């Protein structure tokens, strides 16, 4: 199962949207304090709609708490940042990869990024743009990781319901 890690998220709507994406994909969500909202924030619930109770989510007191409770993340962590040299599409995500995203206003602190420079990844974008929306960035990278793992057991085909019109 892929793991999405949000380091100090600030906007409840983004986190709610990411939670909904995690529900739709069977992905675990890890939230690292401090956050810019309370977990019961109505904006969080509105963005996550009625899926929040189905979400596999854990909240951690700090980054050290996260690593202490997830020792398998240490050698299996990708850092999504605009400061990376590698594109997200150039790496091979394992079935249990951890992908970390930083807070909306500042991203992942550089003192953390230097420890993960070899697994820091970026989404290509025009030079004049600072960054993409956090929930969009999560969706882009998460779906690439899922694609590489053949979407696990997700539904990959739909069915059209053909209408039969009466001819008169």
Binding site members for S-adenosyl-L-methionine: 102, 123, 131
Question: Binding site: which residues?
Answer: 102, 123, 131
* Distance from C-alpha of 122 to C-alpha of 96, rounded to nearest angstrom: 19
Contact assessment for residue 102 and residue 137, using Cβ atoms and an 8 Å cutoff: no
């Amino acid at each position: 199962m892929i793991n999405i890690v949000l380091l100090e998220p600030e906007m409840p709507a983004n986190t709610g949207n990411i939670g909904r994406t995690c529900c739709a994909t069977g992905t675990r969500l890890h939230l690292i304090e401090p956050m810019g909202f309370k977990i019961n924030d109505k904006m969080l619930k509105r963005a996550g709609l009625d899926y929040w109770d189905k979400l596999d989510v854990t909240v951690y007191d700090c980054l050290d708490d996260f690593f202490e409770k997830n020792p398998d993340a240490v050698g299996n962590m990708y850092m999504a940042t605009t400061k990376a040299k590698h594109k997200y599409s150039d790496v091979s995500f394992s079935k249990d990869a951890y992908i970390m995203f930083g807070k909306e206003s500042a991203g992942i602190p550089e003192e953390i990024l230097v420890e993960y420079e070899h697994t820091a990844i970026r989404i290509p974008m025009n030079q004049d743009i600072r960054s993409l929306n956090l929930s969009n960035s999560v969706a882009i990278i998460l779906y690439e990781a899922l694609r590489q793992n053949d979407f696990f057991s997700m539904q990959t085909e739909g069915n059209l319901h053909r209408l039969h019109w009466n001819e008169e």
